[in-house]
Structures are given as C-alpha cells and as structure tokens.
Structure 1
Amino acid sequence: MTVPSNPASPPGRTARPNLLDRVGIPKALSWGFLGVLIFMIGDGVESGFLSPYLISEGISKERVALLFTVYGVTASISAWFSGALSDLWGPRRVMLLGFGIWAALQVVLLGLALPAHHYWLIMVSYGLRGFGYPLFAYGFLVWVTAVTPRHRLGSAVGWFWFAFTGGLPTLGSLVASFTVPWLGTYRTLWFSLVLVVAGALIALLLVREPVGRSRLAPAGERPVATLLGSLSIVWRNPRIGTGAVVRTINTAAQFGFLVFLPVFFTDTLGFSLTDWLRLLSAMFATNIFFNLLFGLVGDRLGWQRTVAWFGGVGCAVTTLLLYYGTVASGDNFVLAMVLVSLFGATLAGYVPLSALMPSLAPDHKGQAMSALNLGAGASTFVGPAVVGLFLGPLGVQGVMWIFAGLYLASAAMTLFLTLPEPAAPPRDTTAVPARGRAESVSGPERV
C-alpha cells in the first residue's frame, strides 16, 4: 500500500512521526482501539457474575452450563466468519453487524427473557448474542492488518490485544465490582449495554480510514467462494493451516487450566478461593501488558522468532515451573504470584502470530484471519478436552506435561511459517541508487 506524503510538508523535509505512530498505533485507526476497549469492557462486565446470577434466578447449574456452551459455539463460529465477511463486505460493515446483533439481543435478553424467567428465550437471546462481539472486535483486527505497514504490524496487533483483553475480562470485571454493589446485577447488565453502545459509536463514527469501508477480497471473487475460501485456505495454503494449529495450542492450556487449577490450588495446595481469584487476575493483568511488549519485540526481533521462542518455548517452561514451583512451595502466595505472572507473560509471546498470518496470504488477509480465529475458537474446546481425557489417568502432573509438549510442538511448527519473498520488481533502464534498493527489501518483513 502506498502512503501519500503530506502535501503540507515543506519540500525536502520528512514529516516527523507523531506519538501514536511511535508507540505503534496507526493514527487513522486510533479511535478504533479506544472503541474496542470500551466495547469489550461492556461485553466483559457480566463475566464474573452472570452464572451465579442466573442460578439465583432459579436456573439449574446444568442449564446454565448448556447456555454458556451454546454461547461459546456461536462465538467460535462468528470468530471464524469475521475474516471472510470482512473480505466480502469490508471490516467496518462487519463491525456494524456485530454491534447490531449484540445490542438488539441484549435488549431482548434484559427486556423480555430475564423478567419472564423464560429459559428458552434466554437461551436464544444470549446464545445468539455470542455472534456479536467477535464480528465487532475481530472485524477491527482485520482492518488493522489491512491498513498497517508491515514493519509496524506486530506493534499494532499488540495494541489490539491490549484493548481486547484489557476489556474482557480484566476491566469488565473491575467495573462490575463497583457497579453490582451500587446498581445491582440486573441494572449492571443494562449498564453493560451502555458501554457497548459507547464503544461501538466511537469506533464506527470516528474512524474515517477508507480501506476498511470497502471489500478486501480481489475484484470479481464471488461471495460463496470467499466464504468457502475462509475454510479451504487451511489446506490450500499449508502454512495458514499450520498457523491455525499454533493458534489453537496458544490458549488451549489457558482454557484447560480454568477447568482444574481452581481445585488444584484450593484443595491440593491450600490456597483460599480469594487467593486463587487474585492469582488469576495477576495472570491476565500481566498478559495484557506483555501483549504490547511482544508486539514491539516481534517487529524488531522477527514475528516468527518471537512466537517460537517467547511463545512456544517460553510457555512450555513456565507451564512446568507453574506446577513444580507451586508443589514445592505449597501455599506460598508471593511465589505463586510470580509463577502465574510468568505464564501470563509468555502466553503473550504468540501476539505476533496475528501479524504473521495475514502476511502469509497477502491477497486473502481476511481468509487468513478467519483461519487464525478458527484456531482461537478451537482452543476453547481442545484445552478442556485434554483435561477431560487425561486428568483422571495421568493426574495434574501428566496434564501439565501434555500442555508443555504441545507448546514445544507449536514452537517447532512455527519454523515453517516463513513469509513469501517479495516479488522482484521489473527491470528498467532507470538507474536506482544502490542504497535505496537495499532499503526497499530489508527490514522487519524478513523474519
């Protein structure tokens, strides 16, 4: 993409990058990052209390579990289609669709389903609302990858994940800790709608960047081919398929840990439930800030190396440290805080994968992001499945070794995610200074 020079700049002088550019935020999309943060805070407000609230309203634990399962399935499907639809319609329209789904179904949930205590209407409204946030958030992620120059893309996606995880669940749960005692749970759910509307309006009205307002797929490509291509690219481009598997491994342990670590920390190690919740908060808080750091590191060290060493190898090491360190020290809260924070930090080592994947398929960035999001959705099932299959026969120690082995396997697979060489420019008789030619093919795109 060619970036036009500023006509207002004096001849012979290069405009200095502004503060946003220096920290890795594309200026044209800056309001979008803020909008995603506020939107995801609204989406995450309910994460810490919705389940006990529904149980207190007379819905059984089994039905609540089914409700959350349906929500997870719809969110996974939506994450997969977000890239393909962005290719087809443009990211901004996909974000608008996601916002519309979220807001409309939240009104149905709060205005009709919950007051009537009608379980199946709750199931439909809340379950289908799962289509909302991935379309909005991941649609913006596609917009980021389509607009940001390659040498700054790692930093830009780091800021996206900072906004995404900063809202869900971190700041969303923090907001709820103040609003639930003040407003009550039901009114807090209405307040979450206010936040979502505010975030969506900021992103959709204040971001004027033109590329994301139109389709990204090549001209003439049919809609059905675009949608099917979001799945077929996994085997059409084996590197994309490999990247999707790496993305699945990335957060599989995270979702698996949520199944058995609460019991392990409280019943086996002797921590209180409050201690465990604080440790979990520390893990995610650390992850948020390291999302930014590894975005910057990826742009300098190389996306591939960062994912392989800091993500794959790093998570393998910190997974084993988390188990053996806590077993050796028992209920030592300070050491446990350090160990969970180390895991949260290395988990962010996979952030440059969001820059690497669309660069592997520059003509179908949306399809590549769909594959990446498909891997993210699959991790919500793979992690708990590993725990369900192996916790009984192998115990906590065996499961930790399985996750560590998966992380090492992902590091090895990352070695195959090499970027295509840039096409050689056609020869002409015009002399090009050697220095300029060298600068055009060097830099962060060579990972």
Structure 2
Amino acid sequence: MGNIINKIFVSPKLMLGYFGVLIFMAGEGLELNWLPEYLQQYGHMTKAETGLIYTVYGLMVAISSWFSGVMAEIYGVRRVMFIGLILFYIGSFLFLVFGMPSHSLYWIIPTYAIRGLAYPLFAYGFLVWVAYEAPAEKLGSAVGIFWFMYSGGVAVIGTGYSDLMLNTFHMEHLHLLWTALIFVTLGAVIALALSGGDSKSTKSNHASFSYLLNGLTILVKKPKVAMGGIVRMINTSAAYGFPVFIPALLIAEHYDKHVWLSVVFWLWTVNVIFNLLWGIIGDKLGWRNVVMWFGCVGCGITTFLFYYAITSHASVLTITLIASVYGCFLAAFVPLSAIMPMLAPNDKGAAMSILNFGAGMSYFFGYFIVTLFIDYVDNAGVIYIYTGLYFVAAVLMIFVNVKQPSKDTVDHEASLAIKEAL
C-alpha cells in the first residue's frame, strides 16, 4: 500500500494534504455558481452590482495569489495555510451575519472580499509544501494532482453539493453557506493536523519580497511573458463571469431555475478531466498549437454557441453538451505552464509568478467586464466581448512562440519552473 501511495501521491503526507485541499476548496466553492443569481433575485441587486461584488472579490484573490508563495517562504507553509483558514472563518462570519442578511453592498463587498484573501493562502500555500516534499523527478505529476484536486473541489464537489442541497433537500441558501465551515474545517484538519509535521524545511531565512519586483520587471525585459500572462487572464475570465448573468438569462428564457447548476456542474467536471489530458496532447501536437487553436479559438466559438443555444431555446441537453465542450477547451490552456518558463529560461520563477498572477486576475477581469458593460450592451454584448477576447488571445499566441524541447516533457519543464518559483 505504501508503494502505491508513493507512486500516486508522492508521499503519505501529501496524500492527506491533497484530500485536505479537495475538501477545503469544496467548501470555498459552494456559492460560486449560484450566489450572483441569489443576490439579484432576493437582494434586488442589478447585474452590475453583483458584478462589482465579484470584481472586488477577484482583486483580493489576485493579490492573495501573488503574495502566497513569498509569505510561505518567509513565515512557513503551515502558518500561511493556517492564516488562510482563519481569514476564511472571519470573512464567512462577517459575511453571513452582516453581509448576506443586509443585502447591502456596503456590508457584502468588504466581508466577501476577506474570503477572497483566504483560500489562495491555504491552497497555494500547500502548493509550496508540494514543491518541498515531492522529489524533483515527480514534481510535475505532484503539481498536476494538486490542480486536479483543487478544481475538483471548488467546481465539481462544491457545485454538486449545492445543487443537491438547494434543489433536492430545499435547504435555505444562508444555511447552506454555513455548512461551508464544516468542509473547510475538515479539510484543514486533514491537511494540517493528520498529515503531521513537515519533513523538509519550507521556511527560508533569506526570503524577501524582492522576488515580487523581479516578477514585475520581467514584463519589460520579456514582452512575450506579458503576453502569456494576458492570455492566462483571458483563459477563465468568461467562466467566472457567466454566473453573474447566465442564470438570470436562463430564467428569462423560460428555463427551469435549477438548470444552471446542472449545466455548470458538467462544464467543470469535463474541465477537471481534461486538465489531466491536454498536457499529454500538447506533447504530441505542440504546446502553442493546443493553447491557440483548442484553448483560444475553441473557447471563443463555444462561448458564442453557448449563448446562442440559450437564446434560441435549445434543449437542456444541447446547452449542457455545448457547455461541456467549452469546459474541455477551457482546459486546453494547461500547456501555458510549460510555455511560460521557456520564454524566460534565466527567469523561470518570475515567469511563473506572472502566470499565477494572471490566473488570479482572471477572477477580477471576468467580473469586471460584466460590471462595466452589462448595463450598456446587455447580455449579448458581454458574450461578444468574451468571444472577442478569446480571439485576441489567439492572436497573442501567434507571437508567444517557443521552441518545444524534443526530450523534455511538459511535466519536466513545469516542474523546474514551479520549483524555482516557489
């Protein structure tokens, strides 16, 4: 059994940590796909107002993502993960006691923003732990398992559990959010308590915030890295923006109010599966080809088809299939993790920091587009913007050219880059 665990999860400690992250992120993602529609329906907020809530939330996610790795180096992984847990408790308590019941932006925005600071510290803090615990030759696989658990928790288990509780057992929305504390507590206990102490030091006496400055100057030294960061920001921006206005659109087009959670569940389930596959496909077809044609162009086409299927009153099955294909293409951006460090071979860590920051900014950018444009161009206009951005990303990928090594795999290159970044 021990040999099986070592082959799959690298070590027993990481196995428990992975499952801890899976459960923690399931609690963190409970409201991801239904809270905007709830605030619009019961809080009488506009789409722009709910978009503003998530815009600020996304900004906090981006900031926390940027700092999580450096904080883990300075203060230690377990301490940073614990800080993330405490911030989640504080943010959840304030949000559920004062924010949600008030239906007021003045309470919801700051309290929900605290929650945005929380999960990157816990989840990305564990990623630093993976970098120290996993052998160099297995780090690529170890990180791949992390993202599989991360996405599976926030997008599949969290969404599926919400759908079950809201639509089958008819639980109150506020009560459902309180149960998130059970998930995050259980996840933290598994990841931090049951796994025991770190076998290797994850704290540096010489670490400082100077690395952040290097992550900024590389944007000037290596413009292609900046382009790659923009592509990563565009990657999931539409997926994060959809929950702000698509649920209301489905209801306006006379679909059952429960359809959205079912559709988005399958979208992210397919996405999680293909997160593991596109890296392998990229080795065969070429990293840039996969990102440009399947990721950028594929997402652009399916984003438009998704909206068109809804407004043309297609069957729920058709809408679900299109959303699932979109989820598949959404995962085709995975080879960016190999492309980015190859663009700056002498500054691989800084290049990866731009990639991670782009991932965090994707939250902010996706919601910001809805906030800024929904009142002026309506649902169709927002969809056209998202579609156009994917094609802009495809054009950028033309210039993000990199010579793909013939011997080194995607996992190997990503392993070296992430090891240096963390």
Question: Into which bin does the TM-score normalised by the smaller protein fall?
Answer: 0.7 to 0.9
Distance 1:184 1:309 in 2: 43
Partner of 1:198: 186
Partner of 2:408: 443
- Measured against aligned partners, the alpha-carbon deviations of 1:201-227 in whole angstroms (never above 9, x if no partner) come to 222231655456223xxx745x24134
Q: Relative to structure 1, is the Cα distance of residues 152 and 318 closer, same or farther in structure 2, using a 3 angstrom cutoff?
A: farther
Partner of 1:72: 58
Q: Answer yes or no: is the 8 Å Cα contact 1:35–1:202 preserved in 2.
A: yes
Task: Specify the code of the residue in structure 2 equivalent to 1:338.
Answer: L
Q: What is the RMSD computed on CA atoms of the aligned residues?
A: 4.2
Which residue of the other structure, out of 408, 414, 421, is the alignment partner of 2:394?
Answer: 408
Q: Answer yes or no: is the 8 Å Cα contact 1:154–1:296 preserved in 2.
A: no
CA drift at 1:341: 1.1
Q: Which has the higher contact order (CA 8 A, sep 6+)?
A: 2
CA drift at 1:375: 1.0
Q: Relative to structure 1, is the Cα distance of residues 335 and 124 closer, same or farther in structure 2, using a 3 angstrom cutoff?
A: closer
Residues 294-303 or 124-133, more deviating: 294-303
- Measured against aligned partners, the alpha-carbon deviations of 1:134-155 in whole angstroms (never above 9, x if no partner) come to 1111222344456556765554
Q: Answer yes or no: is the 8 Å Cα contact 1:31–1:202 preserved in 2.
A: yes
SS of the residue corresponding to residue 415 of structure 1 reads coil
Q: Relative to structure 1, is the Cα distance of residues 95 and 361 closer, same or farther in structure 2, using a 3 angstrom cutoff?
A: farther
Gaps in structure 2 of 5+ consecutive residues: 415-422
Q: Say yes or no: does 1:106 pair with 2:88.
A: no
SS of the residue corresponding to residue 314 of structure 2 reads coil
Task: Specify the code of the residue in structure 2 equivalent to 1:176.
Answer: S
Which residue of the other structure, out of 279, 292, 310, is the alignment partner of 2:263?
Answer: 279
Task: Specify the code of the residue in structure 2 equivalent to 1:286.
Answer: V
Task: Specify the code of the residue in structure 1 equivalent to 2:203.
Answer: S
Q: Answer yes or no: is the 8 Å Cα contact 2:271–2:330 preserved in 1.
A: yes
Distance 2:333 2:112 in 1: 30
Q: Relative to structure 1, is the Cα distance of residues 266 and 128 closer, same or farther in structure 2, using a 3 angstrom cutoff?
A: closer
TM-score of the two chains, using structure 1 as the length reference: 0.72
Q: Say yes or no: does 1:168 pair with 2:157.
A: no
Partner of 1:241: 226
Q: Relative to structure 1, is the Cα distance of residues 352 and 20 closer, same or farther in structure 2, using a 3 angstrom cutoff?
A: farther
Partner of 1:333: 316
Distance 1:122 1:33 in 2: 31
Q: Answer yes or no: is the 8 Å Cα contact 2:230–2:393 preserved in 1.
A: no
Q: Answer yes or no: is the 8 Å Cα contact 1:294–1:351 preserved in 2.
A: yes
CA drift at 1:88: 3.7
Q: Say yes or no: does 1:213 pair with 2:202.
A: yes
Partner of 1:293: 277
Distance 1:304 1:60 in 2: 44
Residues 354-363 or 308-317, more deviating: 354-363
Task: Specify the code of the residue in structure 2 equivalent to 1:284.
Answer: W
CA drift at 1:350: 1.6
Distance 2:348 2:324 in 1: 33
Q: Relative to structure 1, is the Cα distance of residues 19 and 301 closer, same or farther in structure 2, using a 3 angstrom cutoff?
A: farther
CA drift at 1:336: 2.7
Q: Relative to structure 1, is the Cα distance of residues 266 and 328 closer, same or farther in structure 2, using a 3 angstrom cutoff?
A: closer
- Measured against aligned partners, the alpha-carbon deviations of 1:358-394 in whole angstroms (never above 9, x if no partner) come to 6766887765443223212332343455565598398
- Measured against aligned partners, the alpha-carbon deviations of 1:246-302 in whole angstroms (never above 9, x if no partner) come to 21121123234445555665656x644433443232212211211222245456766
CA drift at 1:395: 4.6
TM-score of the two chains, using structure 2 as the length reference: 0.76
Q: Relative to structure 1, is the Cα distance of residues 115 and 371 closer, same or farther in structure 2, using a 3 angstrom cutoff?
A: closer
Which protein has the larger Cα radius of gyration, Structure 1 or Structure 2?
1
Task: Specify the code of the residue in structure 2 equivalent to 1:166.
Answer: G
Task: Specify the code of the residue in structure 1 equivalent to 2:354.
Answer: A
Partner of 2:124: 138
Which residue of the other structure, out of 334, 342, 345, is the alignment partner of 1:351?
Answer: 334
Q: Relative to structure 1, is the Cα distance of residues 338 and 97 closer, same or farther in structure 2, using a 3 angstrom cutoff?
A: same
How many residues align structurally? 402
SS of the residue corresponding to residue 47 of structure 1 reads coil
Task: Specify the code of the residue in structure 2 equivalent to 1:34.
Answer: F
CA drift at 1:128: 1.8
Q: Relative to structure 1, is the Cα distance of residues 320 and 207 closer, same or farther in structure 2, using a 3 angstrom cutoff?
A: farther
Task: Specify the code of the residue in structure 2 equivalent to 1:291.
Answer: N
CA drift at 1:199: 0.8
CA drift at 1:245: 1.4
Q: Answer yes or no: is the 8 Å Cα contact 1:91–1:212 preserved in 2.
A: no
Q: Percent identity?
A: 36
CA drift at 1:36: 0.8
Task: Specify the code of the residue in structure 2 equivalent to 1:374.
Answer: F
Task: Specify the code of the residue in structure 1 equivalent to 2:407.
Answer: S
Partner of 1:253: 238
CA drift at 1:38: 0.5
Q: Answer yes or no: is the 8 Å Cα contact 1:155–1:299 preserved in 2.
A: no
Distance 1:207 1:368 in 2: 33
